């Protein structure tokens, strides 16, 4: 190849690479524009106030009701339940791996947990139906076990790998000098963990939790399969609930294009988008704080 064509090629590819970089921006912009455009179309038909505070989701009724409060409460309930299970287990396991486990045990535990992260959500949902649901029905004496509790347990299992991995990294990254100082003044291993290491790693642990929350809010297939999908205001963990993601997944396949109901599903997606964005931004804020104070 002569010099001139080599230079041309160099310039062409520089432009190609740069274009792909900008296309990623366009992708996020496109998603955002789609959500906003369709939400505006929806809010031309339904007042935002009715949408956010309405207690009834019945888009196919004779006089349709588009109140998404039951859906938000359902998503929150299931996510909250999942975190009640996943946070103690996840942070406990992360502390065990980071401080207590011998290298050999560590080398087995970490790939095992990565394996859990690799299992597709639809498989977890399937087990929720065939394995967990009969168990819950027996224990609580219910006709079936498809309810918020089932969803919360499965979401906890799915959030665990994220929480454990990120929290373990944070605990691991706490400078050794902190531990040595603590041992030096006579603290034992447990006191060191609780009073020194966990507080120092706290921003990283919070990031781990927020990433787990983001994952739980956005998870679709498992909750769709195991929570029963009754769009009513839930009163407890044994109620059947319909989360925001499940509502979109079920109803999008059935609505005619460009009806109010169709736009309503995009409006739900917009709320979902901002909820996960918020969880991720909070997570990022804390991990940046962590990096600032414990630059390794």
Partner 1 sequence: MESFLLTDSENIMQFKTNKLSSVIEWGSLLLSTAIVCFFIAVIIWEIFSKGFSVLSWEFTTMVPKEGMTSGGILTPIIGTVLLTLITSAFAVPFGICCAIYLNEYAENTWVTRTIRAAIRNLSGVPSIIYGLFGLALFVQALNFGTSLVAAGLTLGLLSLPYIITTTEEALKRIPNSTREAALAVGATKFETIKDVVIPSAMSGILTGVVLTLSRAAGETAPILFTGAAFYINGSSGYVNQEFMALPYHLYMLSTQHQSIDQVKPIAYGTALVLVIVVFLLNLTAFYIRYKYRKDEN
Residues between 188 and 217 with contacts to partner 1, criterion CB under 8 A: 188-191, 194, 211, 214, 217
Judge contact between 283 and 214, C-beta under 8 A.
Answer: yes
228 φ, ψ (degrees, to nearest 5): 90, -30
Q: At what angle do helices 244-252 and 69-95 cross, to 10 degrees?
A: 120
Which one of 40-48, 53-61, 62-70, 220-228 is the stretch in contact with partner 1 (CB under 8 A)? 220-228
Judge contact between 129 and 146, C-beta under 8 A.
Answer: yes
- Nearest approach in angstroms of CB 277 to partner 1 is 6
Element (H, E) at 75: helix 69-95
Q: Which is nearer to partner 1, 62 or 185 (CB)?
A: 185
Task: Give the residue, chosen from 110, 249, 260, 289, that forms a contact with partner 1 under the rule CB under 8 A.
Answer: 249
Q: Which is nearer to partner 1, 53 or 190 (CB)?
A: 190
The answer to the question of residue 7 lying near partner 1 (CB under 8 A) is yes
Judge contact between 79 and 243, C-beta under 8 A.
Answer: no
Instruction: Please name which of 293, 94, 100 lies closest in space to residue 212, comparing C-alpha atoms.
Output: 94
Judge contact between 245 and 223, C-beta under 8 A.
Answer: yes
Helix intervals (H) in 98-236: 103-118, 121-127, 133-140, 148-172, 176-184, 189-192, 198-218, 221-226
Which one of 53-61, 199-207, 221-229, 288-296 is the stretch in contact with partner 1 (CB under 8 A)? 221-229
The answer to the question of residue 40 lying near partner 1 (CB under 8 A) is no
The answer to the question of residue 238 lying near partner 1 (CB under 8 A) is no
Q: Which is nearer to partner 1, 7 or 58 (CB)?
A: 7
Q: Which is nearer to partner 1, 225 or 237 (CB)?
A: 225
The answer to the question of residue 160 lying near partner 1 (CB under 8 A) is yes
66 φ, ψ (degrees, to nearest 5): -115, 55
Structure tokens at 225: 């399969």
Judge contact between 170 and 201, C-beta under 8 A.
Answer: yes
- Per-residue binding letters, 164-193, with partner 1 (x by CB under 8 A): x-----------------------xxxx--
Q: Which is nearer to partner 1, 49 or 295 (CB)?
A: 295
Structure tokens at 178: 């902190």
The answer to the question of residue 22 lying near partner 1 (CB under 8 A) is yes
Judge contact between 160 and 115, C-beta under 8 A.
Answer: no
The answer to the question of residue 135 lying near partner 1 (CB under 8 A) is no
Q: Which is nearer to partner 1, 134 or 236 (CB)?
A: 134
- Nearest approach in angstroms of CB 101 to partner 1 is 8
- Nearest approach in angstroms of CB 196 to partner 1 is 14
Q: Please name every residue paired with 228 in a beta bridge, in sequence order, or none if there are none.
A: 241
Whole-angstrom distance, CA of residue 286 vs CA of residue 280? 10
The answer to the question of residue 272 lying near partner 1 (CB under 8 A) is yes
Q: Which of residues 74-113 bind partner 1 (CB under 8 A)?
A: 88-90, 92-93, 95-97, 100-101, 109, 111-113
């Amino acid at each position: 190849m002569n010099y001139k064509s080599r230079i041309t090629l160099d310039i062409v590819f520089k432009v190609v690479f740069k274009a792909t970089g900008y296309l990623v921006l366009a992708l996020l912009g496109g998603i955002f524009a789609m959500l906003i455009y369709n939400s505006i179309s929806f809010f031309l038909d339904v007042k935002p106030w009715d949408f956010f505070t309405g207690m009834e989701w019945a888009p196919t009724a004779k006089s349709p009701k588009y109140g998404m409060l039951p859906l938000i409460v359902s998503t929150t309930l299931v996510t909250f339940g999942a975190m009640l299970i996943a946070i103690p287990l996840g942070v406990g396991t992360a502390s065990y791996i980071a401080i207590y486990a011998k290298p050999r045990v560590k080398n087995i535990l970490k790939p095992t947990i990565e394996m859990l992260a690799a299992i597709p959500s639809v498989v977890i949902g399937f087990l929720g139906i065939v394995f967990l649901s009969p168990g819950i029905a027996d224990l609580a004496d219910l006709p079936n076990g498809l309810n918020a509790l089932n969803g919360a347990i499965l979401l906890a299992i799915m959030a665990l790998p994220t929480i454990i991995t990120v929290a373990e990294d944070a605990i691991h990254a706490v400078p050794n000098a902190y531990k040595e100082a603590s041992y030096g003044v006579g603290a034992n291993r447990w006191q060191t963990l609780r009073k020194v290491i966990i507080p120092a790693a706290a921003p990283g642990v919070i990031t781990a939790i927020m990433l787990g929350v983001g994952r739980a809010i956005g998870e679709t297939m498992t909750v769709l399969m195991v929570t029963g999908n009754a769009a009513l205001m839930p009163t407890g963990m044994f109620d059947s609930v319909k989360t925001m993601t499940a509502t979109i997944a079920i109803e999008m396949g059935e609505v005619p294009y460009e009806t109010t109901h169709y736009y309503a599903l995009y409006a739900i997606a917009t709320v979902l988008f901002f909820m996960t964005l918020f969880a991720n931004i909070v997570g990022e804020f804390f991990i940046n704080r962590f990096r600032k104070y414990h630059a390794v």
